[in-house]
Each structure stands twice: as C-alpha cells, then as structure tokens.
Amino acid sequence: MSAPKPSQTVSRSGRFSKGPAEEVLKFSESVSFDWRLWRHDIIGSMAHARMLKSIGVLTAAELQEILEGLGKIGEEIEDGNFEWKTELEDVHMNIEAELTKRVPAGAKLHTARSRNDQVALDMRMWMREEIVDVMAELHTLQLAMVQLGDRNKETLIPGYTHLQRAQPVYFAHHLLAYVEMLDRDKGRFRDTFERVNVCPLGSGALAGSTLKLNRKMVAEELGFVNLEDEPVISRNSMDAVSDRDYIVEFCSAAALTAVHLSRLSEDLILWSSSEFDFIRISDEYTTGSSLMPQKKNPDMAELTRGKSGRVIGNLMSLLTLIKGLPMTYNRDLQEDKERLFDTADTLRACLRIMAGMIGHITVRHENCLDAASDPVLLATDLADWLVEQGVAFREAHHLVGAVVGVSESLNRPLDKLRASDLKKIDKRLTKQALEVFNIKRAMERRQMTGSPGVKEVRKQIKFWKNELKD
Ligand code: ARG
C-alpha cells in the first residue's frame, strides 16, 4: 500500500479513494483553535511511547527516534516555525503526521490509541494547568481586596438592601464579603481539579485495546496521581472518551466566579459615580469619552460585568452540546474547545484586570462617612436598645417606626430629637436611648463573629492576611 497522499489525511488513508472536499476541510478543522493543546499532546505522546517501549511495541531505538522527533517538533512550534496544516484537521494529526514524515517509527506511535482518548487526555492536562493559574489569580485578587480594606479600615459606608441605605458597615467588611465569595470559587476549582486529574489514555476509540497497555505507567508519568501518589486512571473506556463533565464543572465554577466579579464591578461602578462618590479609580484604569471632555468612565468594571455574559453563555452552550449525545464520542464534542478556551481566557483576563484596578482605587473617606452617618441607619440599634429594656421586639419595632415618623414630621434628625419628643411616643424611650446614635459606639457594639464591628472586622482582615500570605 502506498503512503498517504497529502490530499488523503492520516485518518482517511486506505478506506477512502478521494480526499475531502475543500469546504468539508474548512468546516471540520479544529487545528485553528486546538493547536494550543500542542504541548500537552507532545508530552502525552512521549509518555505513551515510553509505555509502548516497555510492553515491547517499540524498540529502544524507535523510542529514541520518536522522543527526539517530538522534542524537535515542540521546539519548532514554540519558536513559531511549525506549519499547521488545515488538511490535517487537528493538532493531534498535525503532530503525528509531521513526526511520521520525519521518523519511520512515528507510524507506530498511535498504537492502541485513538484521537478520542488522546483529545480527552490533552484537555485534562491543559485544564490542570489552567486551574492552578485561575486559583493563583483568584488569590491575587483576594489579596488586593484585603489590602484595600486594610488601607481603609477606619472607613464606614452605608450597607444597602434594595439599594436603599440600611445600616452602617465598614468598607472593609463589604470588600471581605467578596473575598469570601472568591474563596468559595477557589474551592470549586480545587474540587474540579480532582475530577479533571484522571487519565483516560488506554480507552482507545471507545473500547480500549487488545494490546496489554500499562495504563498506570502512563498515568504516573503524566502526574495523574492522587494525594497518596497512586495513579488515577479512568475505570470505563466508554465514559472516558465521551465524558465532558469536567469541562462543564470548570465552566460552571468559572460562570459563578464571573457572576461574583460582575457584582463587584457593579458596586465599583456605583461607588465611582458622582451620586455615590465613595471611590476614585485612577487614570490608568479608567477611560475618557470621545465627546464629553469631563468624563472618566469605569469601563474596565463595565467590561468585566459584560464579559460575565460570555462566560455564562459558554456554560449553557456546553450543557446544550452534550445533552442529546448518544454514547460515546461524537464529533459534536469538538465544539467543547472554543467554549472552554474562551471561558478560561475571559475569566482570567477579568481576574487580572480586577486585581490591577482594585490596587488603583482611592477611597473618599469623608463622603463615605457622610453617607454612613445618617442616624436613621441606626434605627435598628434603637429597637435593640428597647429590647434590652425588656420591650418585645415587635413592639420595639413599632415604637421606633413612630420615632422615625416624628423625626420626619419635625424635620429633625433622629439623634437631635428632644427628650420630650421621645417621651410623648413612649415613656420607656428615655434620654439615654439617644446614645445609640453615637456611630463609633454603635460600631464597637457589633461584636459577634461575622458582624461589621470594629474588632471583628480587624480580626477578619488579620485572618485573611494570614490566610493569603504566600
Ligand atoms: N478534533 C477532535 C475533537 O476535538 C479530536 C477527536 C476526533 N475524533 C474523531 N473520531 N474524529 O473532538
């Protein structure tokens, strides 16, 4: 049998008498985006080759040829000197065909392997690195948030519900809420890693191989090991080639992270508006208007908010992609890559820009305090005070409502009400009640774990500084 002609791709040789139509090549190729798996494809192939040698499929000399050939191809790709060919469809066939062209033993490399288990392997290896990087970027953002809080630990702002001023909180407490969210995100990526870190190689196209492969050897060499250093290999060949759960998990963790970043963006956008004027984002992280000379816009936060839509969309695409697929591998699955790559790239770009921007924010301490000092934000403290005097909370709530009503009708702030105004509402409302409106004292009294009190927030800042230190 003659060697495959260029028009007959590796996967078509023998069975086909004609090459694929031009538009078929264009429609089905994936090398334009899966080329980025090249490093993992080569490392995976090297491990597979070593294993083939260990079971006698390759001689030592053949293995050497293959390893050198793959190493050389890797260098060329790295240096941008490798020519990717659309007619070879994907990264796997590009590398294998080039290797085989250079060294005859290359023709043995695909023994007991299919692109179906190969692509699953490459993706899993690629994702392990991405997960580590995403987690590091989450860490950096958390640290930037903690440092911003630490630099402004005296700053009070109103906490909001329904976007209405509710109760005073430390600015740092608000930031630490996001640090908590990001920490859960980190946990979700960590969990995902465990299910990504399973070696599918040896599953073949769907039904393994009649050859006696040493799957554990490959797994070990490629770092697919558990905490006890034992190799972790897939238990079911059909599942291994058709499973994309781990990609969905990654994209789901990413979508939730993107949602958190979107909410953070929204807060930053509000805070930097003239209406709030709580923060200033420095010039490096803002943009101007092409028409209005006075404008300084928080575009980085807006883009981060906007890009969360893409990340959420990618998750939906993947779920939809998978839901109707019969077992096992179907070419539909090639569509997973762009969604995954875009998710990882977008999320990581958002994490980095956010961390940079957070480091370039100055807090308008006076404006924050002004907004937080409205005594009406301490109305609940007055109800708590009444509870301490033995009044049932429901009644206390009602009485304080009346106090707020009187304050409004007299146009007199709560803390400036006269003892006689209070007494008219209820005799239990003595002059001492007004002491609750001392904001400093009010913040000192919030002592429970999780509350935005002075000591507690400092404790939390300290906790996170320690937790996040390298
Ligand atoms: N490029 C393919 C993908 O990403 C690789 C697997 C191809 N397998 C096949 N049987 N055509 O899914």
Lowest mean pLDDT among 33-37, 106-110, 261-265, 285-289: 285-289
Question: Ligand 1 center to residue 224 CA distance, Å?
Answer: 22
**Cβ pair 219, 232 in contact under 8 A:** yes
Catalytic residue among 7, 32, 282, 289: 289
Torsion (CA) 451, 452, 454, 460 in degrees, nearest 10: 70
- pLDDT for res 10: 62
The answer, yes or no, to whether any atom of ligand 1 lies below 6 A from the CB of 437, is no
pLDDT single digits (tens) 287-336: 888 888 888 899 999 999 999 999 999 999 999 999 999 999 999 999 99
Which of 434, 437, 417 shows the shortest CA–CA distance to 377? 437
* List of residues 6+ apart from 41 with CB closer than 8 A: 91, 92, 95, 118, 122
In degrees and rounded to multiples of 5, residue 348 shows phi and psi of -65, -35
Whether cis (ω within 30° of 0) applies to the bond prior to 328 is yes
What's the rounded mean pLDDT across residues 221-229? Answer: 98
pLDDT at 2 over 50: no
pLDDT at 7 over 60: no
What's the rounded mean pLDDT across residues 362-375? Answer: 97
pLDDT single digits (tens) 58-101: 999 999 999 999 999 999 999 999 999 999 999 999 999 999 99
Mean pLDDT of the chain: 95
The answer, yes or no, to whether any atom of ligand 1 lies below 6 A from the CB of 116, is yes
Q: Which domains, ranges and CATH numbers included, belong to the chain?
A: 19-111 (1.10.275.10), 116-370 (1.20.200.10), 374-437 (1.10.40.30)
**Cβ pair 215, 201 in contact under 8 A:** yes
pLDDT single digits (tens) 90-129: 999 999 999 999 999 999 999 999 999 999 999 999 999 9
The answer, yes or no, to whether any atom of ligand 1 lies below 6 A from the CB of 333, is yes
- pLDDT for res 6: 44
Alpha-carbon separation of residue 277 from 271, 347, 365 (angstroms): 6, 28, 10
For ligand 1, atom 7, the nearest C-alpha belongs to 115
pLDDT at 8 over 60: no
- pLDDT for res 272: 97
- pLDDT for res 1: 40
Question: Ligand 1 center to residue 129 CA distance, Å?
Answer: 22
Q: Which atom of ligand 1 is nearest to the CA of 337?
A: 4
HSE (CB half, 13 Å, CA atoms) of 402? 12
pLDDT single digits (tens) 390-437: 999 999 999 999 999 999 999 999 999 999 999 999 999 999 999 999
Number of continuous H segments (helices) and E segments (strands) in the chain: 18, 4
Residue 317 falls in the annotated catalytic set: no
pLDDT at 169 over 90: yes
Residue 162 falls in the annotated catalytic set: yes
Question: Ligand 1 center to residue 334 CA distance, Å?
Answer: 6
For ligand 1, atom 4, the nearest C-alpha belongs to 334
Q: What is the 3-state secondary structure (H, E, C) of 115-171?
A: HHHHHHHHHHHHHHHHHHHHHHHHHHHHHHHHHHHHHCCCCEEEEEECCEEEEEEEH
